[in-house]
Amino acid sequence: MQGFPFKSRVGMFFGMLCLYVPLTLGGGVLSLTTLKEYFAFPSELSFSSFFVYGFSAVFILTPVAFFSLWPIFLGRRVSIEMQRYLTKYMIAVFFITVAFQIGFKVYFTNKLEDKGYVACPGAPKAWVPGMATRYVKNIQLCSQ
């Protein structure tokens, strides 16, 4: 097992605070806010199923952050066996996320169509083409 000097451990701690905490909390909060907005069914919304990855950040990065605490506080790496389990877990969560993203997209677009929404052609403002679709209740709002 590789040992880590105190200076490296302090750097890892601040690195974890600056990387994992914002990504985990920010991803979860932003995804939850987006989900609430979607189910409020406003008269106009830009739908992207990629918000699911914010939730997956919570499930993937939380164990990574936990195992990052091991070298910070104990000064040595996590065992190879634990790293293998973590890797398998992260891969499984990724595939579950992709499947959930596809399923949610199918479910939600059908729900939008049932509620009378119409998809506008082109990409919504501030979105990369193909990443989101703008839905409106009144077709005349598409031209605005």
Q: Are 120 and 105 in contact, with CB atoms under 8 Å apart? A: no
What is the DSSP-derived secondary structure letter of residue 77?
P
Low pLDDT (below 50) residues in the chain: 1
Domain of 41 in residue numbering reads as 6-115
Which strand ranges, in their side-by-side order, compose the sheet holding 133-136?
44-47, 133-136, 118-119
Burial 127-137 (b: 16+ CB within 10 A, else e): eeeeebbbbbe
Whether the pTM exceeds 0.85: the reply is no
The domain tally of the chain equals 1
pLDDT of 2 reads 65
The string of pLDDT tens digits covering residues 19-46 is 888 888 888 898 999 999 999 999 889 8
What is the DSSP-derived secondary structure letter of residue 30?
H
Residue 85 within a domain: yes
